[in-house]
Every structure is written in structure tokens, then in C-alpha cells.
Structure 1
């Protein structure tokens, strides 16, 4: 057992929160993850699991089953519950769909599966991660956010929520995410970690001034990688990528930028279309399922390789991802950077 006790992980993905919990002194003893490749990734990298990953729909998994998988008796309780319920119902990239804006995505109910296990298992502390769009004051998000806060309170905890940008905590990626943390109502309120780095990202500034962000160039400078199948950006727009400057995107090819042969209208594509890394800045947010022309792309005009994805998420290079290249991208893109997860969990003990 880790020095701080047993952790149970829900919606585990590739285990970014799990790695952070272990680095913070916990032993992750049980995981629930329905994706086959991600479950195999967890089993390959986490020797502390008391049982195989529960690879089932969590709607069909009882809290008692999860507790038993951790090796705890029915009267025992874990010290920590962690998890990141799927974020697609609240992701701002999906708000163009009428039924998502109306808050009718059935996957939103997975938040209730987290609070159900929280209520049943009564851990000492919990961490729930999600996209920051869950906090938006609209029909797609606000009812679910309010219900989540209410259910956490009814389970006996005081939730403390905050949007944290991973770059503010030494991760070489600008990745804002919501972290809801909590302890039992009779315990002192937990706090989120203080930023360790600061700088500019997406037309704003945040973090600790005077301690510059870790850059993509720094993160990738020591990464050894081999060419991967499919890394070339081809098709209708692939030939445009080499001329785009580092840190720029498709807007380079617009009349407003005075391009002699405009290819696109101003702001008619998503911001990450043909987006290229700037080696002097943190990477923009890396997505789980990007389209064929959605970046960030490497400054060498290709897709990022799996070892590079791991570095930009602060996963160790020896961490093994099971599955295809597309599966590895999805597993990384859905992950919490372990270095940020560690800081969140350690701050809860202060």
C-alpha cells in the first residue's frame, strides 16, 4: 500500500490521474475503464492493482464490486477516489450540435455514476476532473454542474471547484480543465495547488509571473522517436502546412493576413485547423480524436509521434500504451497530465 493509503479510480483512461495519485503516495488498487486498449494499458503499467481492471459499463458495475476489486472488505473504505467522467457532453467543441446545447446528451448521466460511487464508498477525499465547459452558464452545462455540486454535498462532502491550466503547473501544454476536490464535511476544506509557472496562452495570461512556462521545445528536446506510419499530413490541405509559421494556423492563408493566394476565409475554421507547435511556447491543448487537419502538428510539418505525446502530457517515456497510433492519441488526449494530478492531490493534504 502507498504511504497515504488506497485509491480507487473510475473512468481511468490511460491512467493520468492514477499516475499522479501514485506519485503523491497512494496505491491505486482498483480501476474501472470500459475501453479495451486503455484497460490493457492500465494493466500493463500499474502493478498495484489488486484485481484486473473492471472493463465494463459503469452503469452495470456496483459500488460493492468496485470495493471488492480493491481488496478492501465491505466495512473498509478507500482513502481516495479519483476519476474523470467522459467530457463529450460539455466540451465546447460540441456546442454546434443543437441537442448538446439543449443539454440532452445521455452521457451526462455518467457524472451521477461518479457521485453514486462517492456516496457508497465514502473515501476520505476525492478528485473529479472534467472539461471546464462544464462550468458554463448555459443549458448544456449548468444543470449538470449544479446537480453534481448538490449530489456531492448530499454524499457528505463539501466540493471545491477550480479551473486549472496545466501549463501553470509545469506541464508543457496549455490545457485548462475543471478539478472538483473535496473532503468530508467535518474536515477542513482542501485547497487547489498554487501555480508554479506562468505566461501567455490563447490571448490571456495566467499562473505565476516570473517563472516562465515549460515549452514544447524543452519537452521534446530529449525525446528519441522513430517515424510512424501515417505521420505525414497529406490530402487536400497537407501541402499548406510547411509554409505556416510556428504557432500559427490556417489564418496564415487568409486575405486579412495579406496572403497573396488566400485559401480560407477569416475565422471560418476551428482554431486548431493546420495549427503548428511553437517550440518557444507550451503546446496548445492536444485532442483525443482530431480530424485530419487538426493540430497541433510538429514544427517539422508532421503529426506528433507517440513518444512526443507522452512528453507533452508528462507521462514517463517507459509508460507503455496498448493499441494503434489512433488509440494512443485518444488515450493521451483524454488524459490528465500526471504531474498536474500529483500536485492537485498533494495540495489536498496541506
Structure 2
């Protein structure tokens, strides 16, 4: 494998973007992450870290500390800066909160922590990942997105943003995310990877050389053990077995002709009682799903950790640390490593199948 040099990671989480960077030839030498379980996950799985993960609020961490943690001197530059600032203010699932719609979420400023390190560390390349709702034309997203691009420009970089759906790149999950690729001004602008896979996603069809990877293909041959709490109980859990794979609560509506309707048409969020289909990629898997929020396995239970690993393209031997809820949050917040690898290779004008 080509040694592409030193990568520095912000908002590292459990390391999905980091794993992709290492698979593309970089060595992640320094990482900043405040969640203790995610820190432990990073330290267990990344052998190139030059020092322990900086486990503090990024607003209290100086760029000099980050470079020192990577083993870089004051005059040295990292070869790659990666990171996905928390997306709470811009997530589509949060727009029902008025204060978020009005752009008042204080965590929006974490985008500025990324651009601060970008400006001060002067990496040779960068990748910034975020929810695609950051590009929406509304009061919460528009000012933040405009400011972000302006700050990248002022830092001396050419930015190329694009929304990519993970399923179009061989990930068995339909997961659209914004990726901003950047290089210093004066260098040829980078290009995003071309889709390698195609298929139907939310009534839209994408084209690629191969059909989307399905859940059935991804989970084929995987042997798992039952996990505590995987059964869905409570008020609505008993409804799950009759829902066909790939369908959701709408199965129990009058419009669908159900003899005993339980719900009004479009009265719940789309992922309510949503069940995987083995013949399609998974829908977006959330970090903090409610008790009836899917996707659930077609065997009428919650997904197990090894299954989540596969649906995010982590290797089977990648170890997550923490409680089941913590692991769900760590995985659900990750960039699928396969997508990250393809995005980072595209920075070098390279592709992979």
C-alpha cells in the first residue's frame, strides 16, 4: 500500500472516516474526540496513533497540541485533515424543533472549530463530512453553510462540496451525506468519486456499474448471537412480525387496505416500525433510534452489533467499546469506511472497486 503520510482527525467518533483514511494509505497519527467510549474504540483499533486520543472538548484544544500529538513540529504540516463536526443543528430529524429551525443551536459553531484547525494547521488536503441537510435553503442551514464555505476560502483552500449516497459506492446502506473536499488554492480542484453502484433510492434511480449491495448480501454467512434487549416489545412491538420486509407502519393503515388499521396515513416518521429488506440496501441507520424506530431485522428484532458493523462496512474484527446504546450511537454517527476510502482516494485522482 502507498504511504500517503500523516492524517489528523477531528470529531473522530469511533473512527469510520479514520478507517477509510488508513485503508487509502494514510496513518492517522492524532485524533480529537470527547466521548469516552468512542475514545476507547479509537485507541483499541488504530495502531498508528502517535499518542493517546485527545479526549477533550475541541474548543479547548489548540492546533499546536494536535500537531504535537501527531508528532509534527511547529513548521510541519499534516498531509490530510479529516473530520465530521456534530450535525445536530442541521439534521433533518431535528427540524421539528423551532429553535433549531431558527438556527439557534450553539453546537453549530463546531464547524468553526474545524475551519480554525484547517487555517492554522495548513494540511495538504482535507475532507469535511456532514449531514446533507446542511445544504438546505432554510434559516438554520443557509447561514452556517455560507459561512463555512467562506471560511474555507479565506483559509486558502479550494472547496468542492457534493452530497454522496453511500449505497452508490458499494455500502449496503442508503446514507446520503455531504462531503467537502479541499486542496490549497492554485492546485487542481479535486473531484468526487464516481458512483460504482446504482439502483432505486427514495423514488430516485442512480446509475453505477454494479447494482446496489443488498442487506442480504452484506449479512450472508454472518453468524451472530442473540443480544439482550433485541426483542421489540411495548405498545407496538407485537405489530412488527406482520409487516413485510422493506415496509413500515403504513402496512397497518386503511389506505393499504388493512382490516384493522392501527395508524393514520403518514402519521408517523417514515422509519417507524421499518423493517429491512434482504433485497435492498438498508435505509439510514440512526445513532439514537427510539423504541419503535427502525430499521429492524426481517427476523423481527433489533439489529445486532456484528450486523451493524457489516452494514457500515467495518471489518468483522473491528472492536467497539461501551454499552449497547453507546455502540449504536458510535456506529450510527460514523462515515462508512468503504465510502471514506473512496472519497479520500478521489483526492488523489484514484479509484477503487
> Could you say whether these structures have the same fold, taking a TM-score greater than 0.5 normalized by the shorter chain as the test?
yes
The answer as to 2:342 corresponding to 1:343 is: yes
**1:130 shift after superposition:** 0.3
The match for 1:248 is: 247
Question: Could you tell me how far apart the structure 2 residues matched to 1:41 and 1:348 are?
Answer: 27
Question: Could you tell me how far apart the structure 2 residues matched to 1:66 and 1:152 are?
Answer: 19
What does the per-residue CA deviation read over 1:174-225, in whole Å, with 9 as the maximum and x for residues that have no partner?
00000001000011100100000000011211231x5210000000112121
The answer as to 2:64 corresponding to 1:87 is: no
Q: Give runs of aligned pairs for residues 1-350 of structure 1, distance below 5 A.
A: 3-208=3-208, 211-350=210-349
What does the per-residue CA deviation read over 1:254-302, in whole Å, with 9 as the maximum and x for residues that have no partner?
0011100000010010000000000000000000000000000000000
Q: Does the 8 Å contact 1:167/1:213 carry over to 2?
A: yes
Question: Could you tell me how far apart the structure 2 residues matched to 1:324 and 1:220 are?
Answer: 23
What 5-or-longer segments of structure 1 have no aligned partner? none
What does the per-residue CA deviation read over 1:310-330, in whole Å, with 9 as the maximum and x for residues that have no partner?
000000010000001111110
Local SS of the residue matching 1:346: helix
TM-score by length of 1: 0.99
Local SS of the residue matching 1:27: strand
Q: Does the 8 Å contact 1:49/1:70 carry over to 2?
A: yes
Question: Could you tell me how far apart the structure 2 residues matched to 1:48 and 1:293 are?
Answer: 40
TM-score by length of 2: 0.98
Local SS of the residue matching 1:315: coil
Question: Could you tell me how far apart the structure 1 residues matched to 2:264 and 2:13 are?
Answer: 37
Local SS of the residue matching 1:64: helix
Q: Does the 8 Å contact 1:2/1:22 carry over to 2?
A: no
What does the per-residue CA deviation read over 1:99-145, in whole Å, with 9 as the maximum and x for residues that have no partner?
00000000000000000000000000000000000000000101000
Question: Could you tell me how far apart the structure 1 residues matched to 2:2 and 2:305 are?
Answer: 29
What 5-or-longer segments of structure 2 have no aligned partner? none
**1:2 shift after superposition:** 6.8
Question: Could you tell me how far apart the structure 2 residues matched to 1:316 and 1:249 are?
Answer: 29
Q: Does the 8 Å contact 1:82/1:128 carry over to 2?
A: yes
Question: Could you tell me how far apart the structure 2 residues matched to 1:207 and 1:332 are?
Answer: 27
Question: Could you tell me how far apart the structure 2 residues matched to 1:204 and 1:306 are?
Answer: 30
RMSD between aligned residues: 0.9
Q: Does the 8 Å contact 1:275/1:295 carry over to 2?
A: yes
Question: Could you tell me how far apart the structure 1 residues matched to 2:135 and 2:171 are?
Answer: 23
Question: How many residues were matched structurally?
Answer: 349
What does the per-residue CA deviation read over 1:70-127, in whole Å, with 9 as the maximum and x for residues that have no partner?
0111110100000000011100100011000000000000000000000000000000
